[in-house]
Amino acid sequence: MKSVVAQLLESALAKLPELADLIADIAIESTVERTRDSSHGDFASNIAMRLAKPARKSPRDVAASIVKQLSDSDQVDKVEVAGPGFINFHLSAAAFQQELRTILDQGICYGRQPARERPRILLEFVSANPTGPLHVGHGRLAAFGATVGNLLEAAGYTVEREYYVNDAGRQMDILGVSVWLRWLESQGTTIPFPEAGYRGDYVRDIAGDIDTGDATVISAEELTDGLPEGDMEALIEALIARAIETLGPDGFDRIRQQSLESIRADIEDDLAEFGVTFDRWYSEQSLTTEGRIDAALAALEKSGNVYERDGAIWFRATDFGDEKDRVVIRANGKKTYFASDIAYHFDKRQRGFDLLIDILGADHHGYVTRVGGGLAAMGYAADDLIVDLVQFVALYRDGEKVAMTTRGGKFITLRQLRNEVGNDAARFFYVSRSNDQHLDFDLDIAKSESNDNPVYYIQYAHARIASVFRQLEERSLEWNDTSGCDNLSLLVEPQEKKLLTTLSRYPEVIELSANNRAPQHLVHYLRDLANDFHTYYNAHVFIVDDDKLRDARLVLVTATRIVIANGLAILGVSAPETM
């Protein structure tokens, strides 16, 4: 609908070259917005105010000369200049009726934009280390990322979703040794569990399932003989060394890989149950085995952006806005995690993705300049990488903050949260706040089946509409949608007009939410839409004796159901027929 107004303005300006020249760099559509107050019409443009200064005329004069050039349209009832120089458009009833027919015609496609070739987007999210189950913080990354992916697709983009599996490095050794120690325990060899190991119960479960091959059980004395005391980091290092010497490198690797795969598969199941799926699980190990880190480092070398100092190889990150240079190869010859990161992003770009979007926890903010700098150093634009940082989640129960510590394995898992409040409420609450806002997740509200739960409020509107049609059937009446579409002019009640207006905003909301990667706009919109529907429901009966009015009202109500269902689908929330 917005484009109707923008086009009218555009053709009017075409007749005013002296004005049009002044705003060559402004998209006319960007001057058009919904009005907040219906007495100002449906849409307003501030274009005259923006033109006033360069044109050296008063905003109202500019507005008047534009309005004079506007051609008549059956979509517009009235145009007026108001306030400091707004041009207000009052759309016709016919325009809204047309939109209603569009909603019915397009159904589940309503609000989606046609596919566009570019940019191809690679969306990376969650990417939690595979050292244990996902917790509630990862849940927010999952829900946010999945919803952003859905929004971008609705906006016409091609999106691939990827999970980066940190399956290399020391943490995998620690996982392996943790599982080994738990396995030994199950065989009767028990020592105090190391502080630096992974202590969650899931480690015992893995140890119980694992195939250890011909591994021999050693005694506690053999296990602890000569181990360092006091320093927990040194202790875990020594235990890893002991595992390798006892099991052999292959034997230890076997435990390590099984443990990793067990956890990774569990994460995949957990997310799938949450409605979050990925096109690819990208292994960090594969960066090394396929030589991608070396390739990236060679590209950096070639562009002259690395140098040697103190026996290490450094990336000139300061040349790209970072506060200090970063090591890529340590003096001991090992590559850093940062080297993997830039290699991974270099590879994403080389696979043909134009735009890389990373959804990361807020503690990763230092990473943005560095990786963007790495891309720039390798010949790509730093702007090709967008990082959305998602702030932390605090759980509240009975008005109290729920204490969570990662240490000691005492944290609430995503699975526990989903079991407690349900997938729908979890998906909804996670995206109801801006990603750069800390999230206070109130378990009691998410669980409550009552009026203070916004998820149910929206779902209830959908179920009520389904119920209206069940009633229709019970009364042996039929809905003639053709008749309904022919009689939309009967929809004259204020609640009907309000609902029509809100429905017609949906495509704009999708576009806005997608462009800003801001699902909370859609959440708020759906709440508004449900509110308009409930108000209508309470004010008027839909199944009336008058066939034409009934058919028309059922068109409006059906359109409402379509838009609610479409919006909830993007959020990953179900749209129930009954509640």
Partner RNA sequence: GCGCCCGUAGCUCAGUCGGAUAGAGCACCAGAUUCCUAAUCUGGGGGUCGCAGGUUCGAAUCCUGCCGGGCGCGCCA
Residues 468-497 that bind RNA (CB under 7 A): 468, 470-471
Q: How many residues bind RNA (CB under 7 A)?
A: 98
531 binds RNA (CB under 7 A): yes
Q: Contact region for RNA (CB under 7 A) — 7-15, 51-59, 116-124, 288-296? A: 51-59
The 498-527 contact track toward RNA, x by CB under 7 A, reads --------------x---x-x-xx--x--x
Q: What is the DSSP letter of 413?
A: B
Shortest CB 222 distance to RNA, Å: 28
| CA 426 to each of CA 99, 142, 274, 420, 446: distance values in angstroms, whole numbers, following the listed order | 33, 11, 9, 9, 7
Amino acid at 285: Q
Does the bond joining 119 to the residue before it have cis omega, within 30 degrees of 0? yes
Least distance between RNA and beta carbon 524 (Å): 4
55-88 in b/e burial notation, b at 16+ Cβ within 10 A? bebebbebbebbbeebeebebbeebebeeebbbb
- Interface with RNA (CB under 7 A), residue from 103, 293, 327, 562: 327
Q: Does 401 engage in binding with RNA (CB under 7 A)?
A: no
- Name the residue with tokens 């990161």: 341
Smallest distance, RNA to C-beta of residue 438, A: 5
Q: Does residue number 53 form part of the binding site for RNA (CB under 7 A)? A: yes
Based on its alpha-carbon atoms, the radius of gyration of the chain, rounded to whole angstroms, reads: 30
Q: For residue 177, what are the CA distances in angstroms to 107, 134, 170?
A: 55, 21, 11
Question: Pattern of binders to RNA over 164-193, x per CB under 7 A?
Answer: --x-xxxxx---------------------
83 is a site residue for RNA (CB under 7 A)? yes
Q: Give yes or no for residue 343 binding RNA (CB under 7 A).
A: no
**Interface with RNA, residue 199, by CB under 7 A:** no
Closest CA to 286 of 424, 151, 164: 164
Residue from 73, 113, 129, 246 that binds RNA (CB under 7 A)?
129
CB of 451 to RNA, least distance (A): 2
SS (H, E, C) 241-299: HHHHHHHHHHHHHHHHHHHHHHHHHHHHHHHHHCCCCCCEEEEHHHHHHCCHHHHHHHH
Q: Does 216 bind RNA (CB under 7 A)?
A: no
User: Is residue 457 a contact point for RNA (CB under 7 A)?
Assistant: yes
122 in Cβ contact with 357 (< 8 Å): yes
257 scored as a contact of RNA (CB under 7 A): no
- Of 97, 262, 299, 102, nearest to 179 by C-alpha is 262
- Residue 12 or 260: the one with the smaller Cβ distance to RNA is 260
Q: How far is the CB of 533 from RNA (least distance, A)?
A: 8
Assess 310 for contact with RNA (CB under 7 A).
Answer: yes
Exactly one of 8, 19, 49, 299 binds RNA (CB under 7 A); that residue is 49
Interface with RNA by CB under 7 A: which range of 238-246, 286-294, 306-314, 347-355? 306-314
Q: Assess 36 for contact with RNA (CB under 7 A).
A: yes
Residue selected from 542, 566, 567, 568 as contacting RNA according to rule CB under 7 A:
542
Rounded to whole angstroms, the Cα distance separating 381 from 1 reads 35
Q: Does 40 bind RNA (CB under 7 A)?
A: yes
- Is residue 405 at the binding interface for RNA, with CB under 7 A as the rule? no
Report the residue number, 217 or 386, with the smaller CB distance to RNA.
Answer: 386
Q: Among residues 56, 214, 250, 332, which is the contact residue for RNA, using CB under 7 A? A: 332
Determine, following the binding rule CB under 7 A, whether residue 331 of this chain makes contact with RNA.
yes
Residue 239 in 3-state DSSP? helix
Q: Which of residues 7, 20, 23, 35 is near RNA by CB under 7 A?
A: 35
**Region binding RNA by CB under 7 A among candidate stretches 8-16, 38-46, 236-244, 290-298:** 38-46
Rounded distance, CA 505 to CA 522, Å?
11
CA atoms of 272 and 505, how far apart (whole Å): 32
Query: Is 454 in contact with 567 (CB distance < 8 Å)?
Result: no
For 59, the token pair is 């905003």
Residue 344 interacts with RNA (CB under 7 A): yes or no: no
**Exposed, middle or buried: residue 340 (CB in 10 Å: 0-12, 13-18, 19+)?**
buried
Distances (CA, A) of 65 to 18, 33, 52: 12, 20, 12
Q: Which two tokens stand for residue 154?
A: 């609705």
Footprint of RNA on 235-254 (CB under 7 A): none
Residue 362 is a binding residue for RNA (CB under 7 A): yes
Tell me: does residue 545 bind RNA (CB under 7 A): no
